[in-house]
């Protein structure tokens, strides 16, 4: 149930594909009067956690009384999610209750898209190349944030960093690089060092830089060291003060389905989101914002942020959890969450719904799932998301069969994956899969986990909520 409603000019621009580079963006922005020069921006790159860190930073800035522009991608349910303004503390509190709050209105989106289109026509008449969809949307966002006179803007890169269309910001207030991993390797490089070089391209002269430690599970030590050296070299060349955030910097004190509390630098914080990786994301955001907002804004702003599709519990009884884990690092974090949440292992056998994009490292993702699954397993429903890049459910089932064949866990009587092949079912109708899973979960008091793709979550979330309403289940 995705609302793709956006001006036709933006929707049809996807035919121009993904083309990294700044020249088209710079030409377009020059025609538009360079609105990006009016923005006080915080620039965020990385493989995993960009959206969460962006939301945390925006929440803290808003609680501090600022009008904050937030630019993120992809969207889950509505195109307008990508461009949002949180107007101070009240704006953040309203967004917490209403996830449509602050999104760009249809009139502004249409008007600014028309303006961008007129400038693109001028460029084409001059023999210049047509900008990509992401470049056009980014230009609309810059115009909107400048027009609304935002005090601060949080920009999430789309792909990479060095050649990403957001990287036209000359003097950001801070650059933030989240966890690195192996994604989009066809465009960003096959080693973590190469990927770090692309992400580190957002670092600007003299700009403070905050980076999550490159060492993590699912990444080889030497690869992590190479990435660290690359980022240190870029920061040194740019005379940019670099702060590393350790993964164990935050100490968790409590955790349940409503969120988790932790201590950082002798101060206590609470977040609504789950998983150890969200402690890391929150720590990174807190360290980056420390010199820009008050201690109260750090504490309160963080606690009121919601970010859909990242270990999101949309129902507590039965537990229904949506996670957009779509690469090996994301799946590793998801299985770590299952291991941490002992209460979930006490539930009845769970329902799993999974759909993936075909261009992801699906084999490695499944190997991690099979080897680390630790809760009773009822049924695994494999679906085909409504995306051109989606892997058909039947192909995903074959990939599951191969992963189970590779694993000793399939033959281990003590393993939750024992005989899992008999629990696999492939369907093409996402709506039916969601409604049936919710009904079985309600009947059996069993958890539901949806994983594999943010695109799947955007499509399926409404169907799950419809199923919950039909059963009288309250939404978190």
| pLDDT digits 0-9 by tens, 83-124 | 999 999 999 999 999 999 999 999 999 999 999 999 999 999
pTM of the model: 0.90
The reported pLDDT for the residue numbered 10 is 82
Report the percent of the chain where pLDDT is more than 70.
94
Q: Does domain 8-303 have CATH number 3.40.1190.10?
A: yes
SS3 (DSSP) at 262: strand
User: Band of the pLDDT at 476, cuts 50, 70, 90?
Assistant: confident
397 has pLDDT over 70: yes
d(CA 364, CA 41): 36
Question: What's 444-457 look like in SS3?
Answer: HCCCEEEECCHHHH
The span from the first CA to the last CA of the chain, in angstroms, equals: 19
SS3 (DSSP) at 446: coil
In the chain, where the domains are located:
8-303, 312-470
The strands making up 267-271's β-sheet, listed across from edge to edge, are 251-256, 259-264, 267-271
73 vs 6, more confident = 73
The reported pLDDT for the residue numbered 341 is 82
User: Band of the pLDDT at 415, cuts 50, 70, 90?
Assistant: confident
CATH topology of domain 312-470: 3.90.190
183 has pLDDT over 90: no
User: Band of the pLDDT at 190, cuts 50, 70, 90?
Assistant: confident
The reported pLDDT for the residue numbered 185 is 65
Question: What's 100-168 look like in SS3?
Answer: CCCECCHHHHHHHHHHHHHHHHHHHHCCCCCCCHHHHHHHHHHHHHHHCCCCEEEEECCCCCCCCCCCC
Q: How far, in Å, are 82, 96, 150, 157, 311 from residue 99 at the CA level?
A: 12, 7, 20, 21, 16
**What is the average per-residue pLDDT within 44-68?**
97
C-alpha 121, offset from chain centre: 33
| pLDDT digits 0-9 by tens, 233-249 | 999 999 999 999 998 89
d(CA 192, CA 54): 22
47 has pLDDT over 70: yes
Report the percent of the chain where pLDDT is more than 90.
76
The reported pLDDT for the residue numbered 220 is 80
The pair phi, psi for residue 340, each rounded to 5°, is: -75, -35
219 has pLDDT over 80: no
| pLDDT digits 0-9 by tens, 312-360 | 999 998 999 999 999 998 999 999 999 888 666 666 899 999 999 999 9
CB-based contact 53:178 (threshold 8 Å): yes
174 vs 190, more confident = 174
d(CA 153, CA 86): 10
**What is the average per-residue pLDDT within 406-434?**
85
4 has pLDDT over 60: no
């Amino acid at each position: 149930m995705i609302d793709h409603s956006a001006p036709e000019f933006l929707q049809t621009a996807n035919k121009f594909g993904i083309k990294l580079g700044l020249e088209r963006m710079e030409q377009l922005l020059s025609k538009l009067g360079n609105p990006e020069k009016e923005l006080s921006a915080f620039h965020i790159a990385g493989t995993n956690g960009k959206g969460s860190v962006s939301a945390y930073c925006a929440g803290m800035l808003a609680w501090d009384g600022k009008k904050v522009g937030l630019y993120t991608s992809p969207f889950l349910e509505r195109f307008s999610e990508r461009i949002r303004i949180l107007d101070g503390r009240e704006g953040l509190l309203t967004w917490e209750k209403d996830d449509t709050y602050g999104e760009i209105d249809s009139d502004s989106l249409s008007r600014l898209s028309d303006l961008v289109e007129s400038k693109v026509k001028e460029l084409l008449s001059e023999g210049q190349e047509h900008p990509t969809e992401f470049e056009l949307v980014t230009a609309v966002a810059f115009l909107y944030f400048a027009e609304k006179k935002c005090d601060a803007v949080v920009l999430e890169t789309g792909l990479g960093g060095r050649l990403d269309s957001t990287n036209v910001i000359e003097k950001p207030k801070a650059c933030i690089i989240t966890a690195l991993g192996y994604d989009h390797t066809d465009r960003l490089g096959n080693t973590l060092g190469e990927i770090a070089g692309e992400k580190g391209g957002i670092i600007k002269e003299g700009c403070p830089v905050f980076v999550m430690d490159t060492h993590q599970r699912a990444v080889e030590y030497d690869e992590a060291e190479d990435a660290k050296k690359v980022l240190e070299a870029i920061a040194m060349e740019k005379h940019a003060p670099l702060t590393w955030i350790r993964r164990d910097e935050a100490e968790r004190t409590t955790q349940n389905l409503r969120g988790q509390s932790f201590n950082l630098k002798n101060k206590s914080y609470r977040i609504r989101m789950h998983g150890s990786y969200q402690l890391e994301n929150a720590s990174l955001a807190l360290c980056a914002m420390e010199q820009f907002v008050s201690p109260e804004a750090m504490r309160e702003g963080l606690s009121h942020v919601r970010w859909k599709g990242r270990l999101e519990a949309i129902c507590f009884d039965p537990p229904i959890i949506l996670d957009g884990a779509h690469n090996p690092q994301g799946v590793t974090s998801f299985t770590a969450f299952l291991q941490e949440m002992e209460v979930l292992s006490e539930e009845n056998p769970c329902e799993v719904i999974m759909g993936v994009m075909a261009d992801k490292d699906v084999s490695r993702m499944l190997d991690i799932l099979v080897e680390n699954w630790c809760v009773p397993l009822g049924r695994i429903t494999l679906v085909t998301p409504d995306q051109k890049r989606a892997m058909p459910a039947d192909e995903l089932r074959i990939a599951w069969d191969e992963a189970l064949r590779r694993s000793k866990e399939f033959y281990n009587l003590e393993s939750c994956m024992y005989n899992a092949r008999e629990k696999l079912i492939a369907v093409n109708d996402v709506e039916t899969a969601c409604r049936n899973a919710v009904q079985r979960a309600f009947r059996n008091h069993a958890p539901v986990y949806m994983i594999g793709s943010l695109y799947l979550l955007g499509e399926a979330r409404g169907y799950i909520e419809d199923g919950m309403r039909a059963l009288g289940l309250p939404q978190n």
